[in-house]
Amino acid sequence: MDAQKRKAWSVVSSSTVAFTVCFMVWMMFAVIGIPIKAKLGLNETQFGILVAMPVLTGSLIRLPLGMLTDKYGGRIVFFILMISTIVPIWLISDGTAYWHYLVTSLFVGVAGGSFTVGISYCARWFPKSQQGLAMGIFGAGNAGAALTKLIAPSIVTAYGWVMVPKVYAVMMTITAILFWLFTYDDPSHREGKSVTVAEQLAALKDLRVWRYCQYYSIVFGGYVALSLWMTKYYVSEYGFSLETAALLAACFSLPGGVLRAIGGYYSDKYGAHTVTWWVLWISVICLFFLSYPQTQLSVITVGGPQTFHIGLNSTVFTILMFTLGIAFAVGKASVFKYISDDYPRNIGVISGVVGLVGGLGGFILPIMFGALVDLTGVRSSAFMLMFGIIWVSLIWMYWTEIRPSKLERHKINEATHQATTI
């Protein structure tokens, strides 16, 4: 292995570890938010806002981080980002009021912007034929959502929830130092020019970017939202303890992270469109069954009323969530394969825009989940909402990608037929 390849794989490995830790921090409120909710007596909507606040910052900051990465390179931007979160993470443990947690979570949310930095940083170390795989490996850091569900509940049980932010602050410090020691900077990867916000937002004039934003708001925004929501869902719907609920919730979060590399591989092999199309269909089927609420059905028979219970038990529910997690993992990689194929010169800019919109999906959806539960009293309404959103994406993909492709093939066949006849 030559020096350049060794550096490239060291960059991907170190960046993936760093992104995993950043994602653990970003998803921290999925676990510690539950005892905070009980302590402060929050309703479902307030809980949704609490767990979503880090996602807001992590989404909005992706635009400037994409610009900074294109100009200065991913290594220095990633390092400074991690260092900047250490103090806010620690301060969470000192909060006493609802607004304290909202404010500190906004600063902690900066960790979520690491994705835009790392995806551009890693991709530029590889040729186009391997960029899908490289970005998929890096994106496997989403598994940090699952690691938080495995690690944080044990800390809560042993030492109380206030110890979680302190442990995570120390972890972030060590990770930042190791990242700097085992990564490299290549000046040729920098654009060397300033990209204004206006120039970056100009990308939104391209309808393809809006389409990719919609796809990513599902496979990433939906993944983030459900990762934040599932632990509490298991506690409320099935009555599990925090540790058991978090462990089962990891069955969705873990494949949704680690299998992203497989999505990158298949996107390189079969193309972003084909992979994304199947991801959306698998997701909509899973969500159809997940949407059905727990139901008591009474049937009047000749022998009197007979009552039947219809609904998913925890085993079937977990299997469906596991399948959905795999689909989202593959989809997250395939959407970014679209970007590396169509915008090879400004991956940082376009990934910043798409990541922003996708991240905003992860911010808005938990709040909507909580509001729907407060309004309807039906916990599965969260899945009903996701089901409808994916139907919109399937219809959009058909009319903008599949139907034009069919018409183009039809024209080519007609032209070929006419030429053969002549």
Domains of the chain, each with CATH number or no CATH: 7-180+197-293+309-410 (1.20.1250.20)
- For the chain, 422 residues long, give each residue's pLDDT as a single digit of tens: 577 788 888 999 999 999 999 999 998 998 999 999 999 999 989 999 999 899 889 888 887 887 788 788 889 999 999 999 999 999 999 989 999 999 999 999 999 889 889 888 888 888 877 777 787 788 778 788 888 988 999 999 899 999 999 999 999 999 999 999 999 887 766 665 555 666 666 767 778 888 888 889 889 889 889 988 998 899 989 999 988 998 898 888 888 767 777 887 888 888 888 898 999 999 999 999 999 988 888 888 888 888 888 889 999 999 999 999 999 988 888 887 888 787 776 666 777 788 788 888 888 999 999 999 999 989 999 999 999 999 988 998 888 877 766 555 555 555 554 555 55
Nearest to 74 by CA among 354, 422, 351, 364: 351
How open is the CA angle 359-360-361, to the nearest 5 degrees?
Answer: 85
Secondary element (H or E) of residue 187 = none
How open is the CA angle 314-315-319, to the nearest 5 degrees?
Answer: 115
Alpha-carbon span 119 to 56, nearest angstrom: 19
Alpha-carbon span 48 to 46, nearest angstrom: 5
Residue 377: DSSP 8-state: -
Q: Classify each residue of 221-234 as buried b or exposed e, where b means 16 or more C-beta atoms within 10 Å of its C-beta.
A: bbbbbbbbbbbbbb
Alpha-carbon span 346 to 71, nearest angstrom: 11
Q: What are 317's two structure tokens?
A: 């529910």
